[in-house]
């Protein structure tokens, strides 16, 4: 049995987990501890990097101890230590990776610096034992991408955002409407009671052959509608959220269909092609339903992780570490690995022309 301790501190969750693969090849999550910092950042309407880093310092040792205790294991029982090394907030990355280095050196275990995005990309193999290849829609606060996944470490970016990431658009919409932090879930909640037909917001790039995404124009349209109606009633807020969300789902369906068509052409003999949706925004029920309907119509299976594994968590980091450890994909001098606040999953693809600051490195 292979067991790996994972540590995740890339943003505002302090997390540690232990995953394993038994002799039968079945993966298992032995523990998964996530300590949220929502209360610390709520007053500011978003994550404050310095506060996040200090909170990681205060909490991480205890979270790791809790993960080991829940799994009923000690450090001698662990086969490797995986930690998020990027992308993310540099302060948090330093805390998590430095702690992992200390544990690995003291326990004489391999250290596995993990790309946070790879954790999301491989989660479906942990939860559903999914085989390669598959198509991945990665939607989070900092990234919106379609990737062709053919193996561990083999990720080809087929599409990305040319400006805002989808999660960023949700969060900015929430802030604009005065909804509390975290923004994305609160926009989804408000949308449930709204009229999605009241406002006709744009569907950026819809109908274009290129599969890329753009959300800045949609965000601007929301701002204009809110400004014209100010002061906003609760009904106004609900209707704007519902209209925004249906514009998002329509856009995703159109953009992702381009990816499905390309995947089908590249793998014509694959009996059950699969689309995986991962990242924090993958927890949105309307988006899941839209993608499920699209996949059914195109003959694809949709795999979406359980909600607790959509957001930042250490189980996905531990699993990515376990996959790399078993495949022999380790760093020769991992203890010298430096955290990378920007770390594209597909390092071979050039940045998109006109991409935003975050999207350029997506």
The DSSP code sequence of 296-362 is HHHT-EEE---GGGTSS-HHHHHHHHHHHHHHT---TTGGGPPP-SS--S-SSSPPPTT--TTGGG-
* Lowest model confidence (mean pLDDT) among 97-101, 145-149, 355-359: 355-359
Residue 212 has pLDDT above 80, yes or no: yes
Gap between the Cα atoms of 285 and 288, Å rounded: 5
Residue 134 has pLDDT above 70, yes or no: yes
Helix (H) or strand (E) holding 229: helix 216-229
Q: For domain 2-123+309-345, say whether CATH 3.30.420.40 is its number.
A: yes
Q: How confident is the model at residue 360 (pLDDT cuts 50, 70, 90)?
A: very low
Per-residue confidence (pLDDT) for residue 210, from 0 to 100: 87
Domain boundaries, the chain: 2-123+309-345, 132-307
Q: How confident is the model at residue 352 (pLDDT cuts 50, 70, 90)?
A: low
Q: How confident is the model at residue 141 (pLDDT cuts 50, 70, 90)?
A: confident
Gap between the Cα atoms of 24 and 318, Å rounded: 19
Helix (H) or strand (E) holding 59: helix 49-71
Per-residue confidence (pLDDT) for residue 361, from 0 to 100: 35
3-state SS assignment for residue 235: helix
Residue 254 tokens read as: 């159109």
In this predicted model, what pLDDT tens digit does every residue of 317-329 receive, in sequence order? 999 999 999 999 9
Asked if 2-123+309-345 and 132-307 have one fold, the answer is yes
Residue 349 has pLDDT above 90, yes or no: no
What would the CATH number be for the domain defined by 132-307?
3.30.420.40
Q: How high is the mean pLDDT of the chain?
A: 94
Residue 232 CB: number of other CB atoms within 10 A? 17
In this predicted model, what pLDDT tens digit does every residue of 267-314 receive, in sequence order? 999 999 999 999 999 999 999 999 999 999 999 999 999 999 999 999
Residue 282 tokens read as: 């993958």
Gap between the Cα atoms of 354 and 233, Å rounded: 36
pTM of the model: 0.94
Tell me the CA distances in angstroms from 3 to 75, 78, 277, 292, one per residue in order. 10, 5, 26, 33
> What's the distance, Cα to Cα, between the start and end of the chain in Å?
35
């Amino acid at each position: 049995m292979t067991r790996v301790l994972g540590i995740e501190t890339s943003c505002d969750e302090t997390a540690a987990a232990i995953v394993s693969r038994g002799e039968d090849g079945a993966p298992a999550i032995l523990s998964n501890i996530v300590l949220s910092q929502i209360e610390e950042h709520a007053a500011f309407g978003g994550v404050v990097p310095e506060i996040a880093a200090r909170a990681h310092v205060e909490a991480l040792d205890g979270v790791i101890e809790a993960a080991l205790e829940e799994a009923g294991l000690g450090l001698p029982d662990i086969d490797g230590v995986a930690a998020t090394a990027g992308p993310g907030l540099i302060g948090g990355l330093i805390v998590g990776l430095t702690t992992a280095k200390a544990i690995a050196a003291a326990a004489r275990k391999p250290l596995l610096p993990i790309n946070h995005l790879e954790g999301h990309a491989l989660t479906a193999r942990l939860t559903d034992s999914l085989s390669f290849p598959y198509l991945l829609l990665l939607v989070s606060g900092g990234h919106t991408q379609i990737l062709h996944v053919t193996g561990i470490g083999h990720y080809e970016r087929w599409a990305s955002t040319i400006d805002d990431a989808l999660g960023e658009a949700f969060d900015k919409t929430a802030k604009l409407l005065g909804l509390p932090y975290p923004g994305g879930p609160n926009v989804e909640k408000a949308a449930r009671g709204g009229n999605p037909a009241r406002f006709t917001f744009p569907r950026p790039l819809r109908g274009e052959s290129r599969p890329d995404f753009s959300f800045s124009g949609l965000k601007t349209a929301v701002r204009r509608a809110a400004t014209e109606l100010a002061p906003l009633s609760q009904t106004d807020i609900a209707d704007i959220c519902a209209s925004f969300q249906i514009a998002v789902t329509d856009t995703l369906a159109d953009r992702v269909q381009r990816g499905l068509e390309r995947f089908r052409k590249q793998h014509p003999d694959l009996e059950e092609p699969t689309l995986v949706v991962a990242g924090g925004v993958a927890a949105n029920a309307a988006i899941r339903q839209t993608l499920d309907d699209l996949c059914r119509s195109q003959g694809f299976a949709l795999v979406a992780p359980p909600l607790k594994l959509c957001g930042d968590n250490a189980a996905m980091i531990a699993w990515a570490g376990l996959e790399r450890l078993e495949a022999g994909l380790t760093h020769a001098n991992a203890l010298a690995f430096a955290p990378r606040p920007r770390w594209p999953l597909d390092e071979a693809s050039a940045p998109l022309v006109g991409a935003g600051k975050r999207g350029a490195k997506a």
